[in-house]
Amino acid sequence: MAARTTVAAVLVPATRGHYERLLSLVAEVRADAPDAVHRMRVATRRLRSLLGTFSDAFPPAATVTVRAELRWLGGVLGAARDAEVLAERFGDLIDAQPTDLLLGSVHQRLVGTQEDLYRAAHARVVDVLDGPRFAALCALLDEVTSGGHAVPTETTVRGGLDAAYRKLERARRTARKTTRRTASDSSGADAAWHRVRKRAKRLRYAAETVAARDASAAALAAAAESVQTLLGERQDGVLARARILDAARQARDDDEDTFAYGVLYAVEREHADRAPDELADRLRSVRKAYRGLDFRG
């Protein structure tokens, strides 16, 4: 692009916007409005991600504290959101199976348990939003995103994108090596690919912010989102399979038939096995889009 895309002109206002969005969602989250917890969690993650990718552009000491507190808030919101996602996932999974295969209290152990966890986690979220720690975080965010601090001239948008892309590539290479090395134990590979997902998300958030000023970043944002989405589905499957095994053990202890849990686990496993081939294509799209960036600012 002709004009330099500066951090002060693009990223500082973007972080301010995410902070204001977080505040605007407080009432909806308290009221348990549809998708409100998810939307606040996304705003929290976007803030933390941008403040990390472009940390040099913000007040150093305050930014370190803010990112730590955003991690805390994201964890509180995440407990509710994960339960919400799993309840919906298990409901869809159970509904897709022949009813004569679903013996025992499968629905209650899977869907009902997650719904109970969501209600408890949401109550915890409301307590947090009414508490002093959240108020202190908002005060710090107001300071950090105010734009009242000097941005070093050597800090550039392109530099942040380059660093985010390199981190994604390193995570990808590590995940591939880990997958080959631990073929008989998927837990290490699951953790490694989850890290790839987080790196893709960080690149996506940075590129989406830049895309508002430079169209060449839009393709990179879309490609990174595609990787994030696929690996997010994979991670949800990892969590779902673990919960299915937990429920099966509890059912066995209660002398219930556990056949249905085996069926549901197999379906989840089949979904997971489809991911690797599609993932390779999506990662190639990220590399292609990154090479297509045409700005230096």
CATH number at 51 reads: 1.40.20.10
For residue 173, tell me if it sits in a domain. Answer: yes
**Contact criterion met (CB below 8 Å) for 68 and 43:** no
Residue 4 has pLDDT above 50, yes or no: no
Q: How large is the average pLDDT for residues 58-74?
A: 93
Residues 168 and 283 placed together within one structural domain of the fold: yes
Name every residue whose Cβ is closer than 8 Å to that of residue 75 and which is 6 or more positions away in sequence: none
Residue 12: pLDDT band (50, 70, 90) is confident
What's the mean pLDDT in 196-203? 96
- Does the CA dihedral 115-117-123-128 come out positive or negative? negative
Does one domain contain both 252 and 110? Answer: no
Let me know whether 95 and 182 are in one domain. no
- Which residue, among 54, 18, 13, has the nearest Cα to 206 in the 3D structure? 54
For the cut 80, the answer to whether the pLDDT of residue 296 exceeds it is no
Residues 44 and 144 in one domain: yes
- Same domain assignment for residues 174 and 287: yes
- Which two three-digit tokens encode residue 152? 């070093």
Choosing from 94, 126, 151, the residue where a domain stops is 151
Q: Which residue, of 125, 151, 177, is where some domain finishes?
A: 151
Kindly report which listed range (3-12, 249-258, 266-275) carries the lowest average pLDDT score: 3-12
Q: Is the pLDDT of residue 5 over 90?
A: no
Least confident of 113-117, 246-250, 266-270: 266-270
Does any domain span residue 297? Answer: no
Using an 8 Å Cβ cutoff, are 207 and 14 in contact?
no
> What range does the domain containing 27 cover?
1-151
User: Is 23 contained in some domain?
Assistant: yes
**Of 33, 15, 48, 16, which Cα lies nearest the Cα of 126?**
33
- Reported confidence tier of residue 185, pLDDT bands at 50, 70, 90: low
Is pLDDT of 275 > 80?
no
pLDDT digits (tens, 9 = 90+) for 29-38: 999 999 999 9
pLDDT band of residue 98 (cuts 50, 70, 90) is confident
Q: Is 191 within the bounds of a domain?
A: yes
Judge if 108 and 203 occupy the same domain: no
Span of 8-22, 87-101, 261-275 with lowest mean pLDDT: 261-275
Residue 29 CA to residue 37 CA, distance in Å, equals: 6
Res 2: pLDDT: 33
Mean pLDDT of the chain: 90
Q: Range with the lowest mean pLDDT among 230-234, 268-272, 290-294?
A: 268-272
Is the pLDDT at 166 greater than 50? The verdict is yes
Q: What pLDDT, on a 0 to 100 scale, did the predictor assign at position 184?
A: 54
Write down the pLDDT at residue 157: 84
Q: What is the per-residue pLDDT for 153?
A: 74
Together in a domain, 7 and 123: yes
This prediction's pTM: 0.89
Q: How many domains does the chain have?
A: 2
Say if 260 falls within a structural domain: yes
